Structure 1
Amino acid sequence: MDLVLDIGNYRLKGAFFDGDQVVESFVTPPEKVQLEKALEGKRADQVLISSVNSEAEPMVREVLAAQGFSFQMLDFSTLKVGLDVEQPEAVGHDRIANVYGALFHFPQNDCIVVDLGTAVTFDYASCDGRYLGGAIYPGIDIGAKALAENIEKLPQVDIAKPPLAVAKTTITHIQSGLYWGLLGAIERITFEMRNISSSPSDVKVIATGGLLSKMDPEEFAKDLSDFVDLIDTRLTLIGIHEIMKEKNKDA
């Protein structure tokens, strides 16, 4: 059994793997009590940790050691994936892991990963294992906050799909613009990105990220289905596990 952990600024995600199969996963705040509860009674032969939260790392190390796990921190500088960008050191660790996760699902295809978080990131991975670049778009929560803070008469709204695109109240006006605007951005940006391929129709689009758990999953998946081939909320964790497998082969 393998365990991978992804320590983010606001969330700590983990997954146990038996071979390539995710047998259990969890998402908690990066807090000691929550992590202890998630790992209680569990065992793993190897543990690999990816982190962008240096303040939470000592706590995670302490909990793992106390529960008898041996672990390694992921060194992204030694990976085989090619970073075909001007500043490879600036590419986020989660985005690199997403490339590995995408190529696990579609090893014969170029892929675009759409990660729906605080920001929406778009990342293009070639089937020969190169990260070719991407785009960053404001997340839907940022849009809602910006409208409420910068326009006096507009309220803060909950993120939700409105009943109608042509809305009837101020709140649903905002929800309509945010919801359909995000979907429109995803459709257009992925369309433009596909066109760098000699076979645009063969490029696969994968959606992941925290927003997927905030929306109505079935309804949101339906609205994404015209331009997204796969939704996988555990894509980053799968990518970290693929990196673990790569390192084991080289050992």
Structure 2
Amino acid sequence: MNLALDFGNTFIKAGLFKENELIEVVRLTDLTEIDRIIANFRPRHIIVSSVSRSIEEIKPQLKDIPATILRPDLPLPFKINYKTPQTLGLDRIAAVSGAQGIFPDTNCLVIDTGTCFTYDFIDSAGTYHGGGISPGISLRFKALHTFTANLPLIEFEKDVPLVGQSTKGSILSGVVNGTIAEIQEIIRMYSDKFGHLQIIICGGDAKFFENKLKASIFVAPELVLRGLNRILLYNA
């Protein structure tokens, strides 16, 4: 049994794998819960990706189990063509790894709808070229509230008008419909540049956007965990 730990900006997620098969996903609220996961499942190997906690904080929780720490210079199952690989987000590396595992030998555009929205492109020859980063839904709501005098903080709702007839409705329309338009236009631009693409969407808001986009979308909620496990097996 392998354990993949993803310390994101908002959540800690644990994925239990038997070889390539995802057995269980657990969302953790605190570092100390890793003890329970290890005690219950007794993994033989662990891989850790963290964009929010230091490795020094995490390592004591892993006991004596062999751990692979994801970093940009770790051997990966694809090539990186990125000018500053040392600054490349670990979650982006893992998501691309997961996409390539599901769709090998295919041009893939990976869209992660987490705290930030990330767009990542890997070509059919297995070379990662980079992508884009923009604010996620919650960040857009918070920015409008924080950097204006009178706009309220709005929670994400799935029933969104095109024409807002109140301040709340107008913010929902601008943020959500604006995000949908952003994603659709970026997909179009990548398709124009690279031809046929497999679009893979993951992250907390993936299910919402699945039915809002015109392009054919493959939703993979646990793409980062799957990618981490693939990197772990690659380094075994």
Q: Same fold (TM over 0.5)?
A: yes
Task: Please provide the CA RMSD for this pair.
Answer: 2.0
Is 1:70 aligned to 2:63, yes or no? no
Deviation at 1:71, TM superposition (A): 2.4
* Cα offsets for 1:59-111 (capped at 9, x unmatched): 4322321xx63323234313242221222222111111111111111113110
Counterpart position of 1:245: 233
Decide whether the 8 Å contact of 1:5 with 1:12 is kept in 2.
Answer: yes
Q: Which protein, 1 or 2, shows the higher relative CO under an 8 Å CA cutoff with sep ≥ 6?
A: 2
Decide whether the 8 Å contact of 1:4 with 1:47 is kept in 2.
Answer: yes
Counterpart position of 1:89: 86
Counterpart position of 1:203: 197
Q: Residue 142 and residue 228 in structure 1: after superposition, are their counterparts in 2 closer, same or farther (change >3 A)? A: farther
Is 1:35 aligned to 2:34, yes or no? yes
Deviation at 1:195, TM superposition (A): 2.2
Deviation at 1:114, TM superposition (A): 0.6
Counterpart position of 1:167: 164
> What CA distance in whole angstroms lies between the structure 2 residues aligned with 1:147 and 1:52?
25
Q: Residue 152 and residue 90 in structure 1: after superposition, are their counterparts in 2 closer, same or farther (change >3 A)? A: same
Q: Residue 150 and residue 75 in structure 1: after superposition, are their counterparts in 2 closer, same or farther (change >3 A)? A: closer
Q: Give percent identity, aligned residues only.
A: 27
Decide whether the 8 Å contact of 1:161 with 1:176 is kept in 2.
Answer: no
Q: Which runs of 5+ in 2 are unaligned?
A: none
**Please, what TM-score do these two structures have when normalized by structure 1?**
0.85
**Corresponding letter in the other structure for 1:171:** K
SS at match of 2:172: helix
**Corresponding letter in the other structure for 1:35:** I
Deviation at 1:9, TM superposition (A): 4.1
Q: Residue 195 and residue 160 in structure 1: after superposition, are their counterparts in 2 closer, same or farther (change >3 A)? A: same
SS at match of 2:175: helix
> What CA distance in whole angstroms lies between the structure 2 residues aligned with 1:132 and 1:37?
39
> What CA distance in whole angstroms lies between the structure 2 residues aligned with 1:247 and 1:38?
23
> What CA distance in whole angstroms lies between the structure 1 residues aligned with 2:72 and 2:201?
23
SS at match of 2:41: coil
Decide whether the 8 Å contact of 1:162 with 1:172 is kept in 2.
Answer: no
> What CA distance in whole angstroms lies between the structure 2 residues aligned with 1:97 and 1:110?
16
**Corresponding letter in the other structure for 2:199:** V
> What CA distance in whole angstroms lies between the structure 2 residues aligned with 1:139 and 1:130?
26
SS at match of 2:193: coil
Of residues 120, 138, 141, the one that matches 1:123 is 120
Total equivalences in the alignment: 235
Is 1:231 aligned to 2:227, yes or no? no
Give the structure with the larger helix fraction: 1
Q: Which runs of 5+ in 1 are unaligned?
A: none
Is 1:17 aligned to 2:17, yes or no? yes
The runs of at least 4 aligned residues of structure 1 exceeding 6 Å deviation read none
**Please, what TM-score do these two structures have when normalized by structure 2?**
0.90
